[in-house]
């Protein structure tokens, strides 16, 4: 699967987001090394701390499906934003937990442009198990 297809998968899932408060849907498409794509959406809650981001939804679904640290190949994050939509800091930490620092992270915007970064570029000086 190429990056355009992965981004399109993230864009298509956005309409399934549960966003009654912010009206800001986000979709994520997580590519596994075996070629499987697991999608996630943000799921809001009136108690905002209970809200879950699209990226974490995808990762937690993958883990619940039996995938493990190191099984992840790339992730795309999509939202209808003027600038490229990056993962929040909590999601970046989840990425650091499960993925290689060189894993591609594809960000997109409302114009469907794609910005490609590595996880290391997105999260320099990540806190990892090596820091424990």
55 in active site: yes
* Candidate list 4, 8, 44, 55, residue with the active-site label: 55
CA distance 41 to 126: 24
CA distance 1 to 20: 32
| 3-class secondary structure, 36 | coil
Name the residue with tokens 């209970």: 50
Which of 44, 39, 35 shows the shortest CA–CA distance to 55?
A: 39
Active site residues: 55
């Amino acid at each position: 699967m190429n990056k355009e297809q992965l981004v399109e998968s993230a864009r298509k899932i956005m309409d399934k987001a549960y966003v009654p408060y912010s009206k800001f849907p986000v979709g994520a498409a997580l590519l596994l090394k075996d070629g499987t794509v697991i999608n996630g959406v943000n799921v809001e809650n009136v108690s905002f701390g209970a809200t879950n981001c699209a990226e974490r939804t995808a990762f937690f679904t993958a883990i619940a499906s039996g995938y493990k640290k190191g099984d992840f190949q790339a992730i795309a994050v999509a939202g209808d934003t003027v600038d490229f939509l990056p993962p929040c800091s909590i999601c970046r930490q989840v990425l650091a937990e499960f993925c290689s620092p060189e894993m591609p992270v594809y960000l997109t915007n409302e114009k469907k442009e794609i910005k490609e970064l590595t996880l290391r570029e997105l999260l320099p000086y990540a806190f990892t198990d090596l820091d424990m």
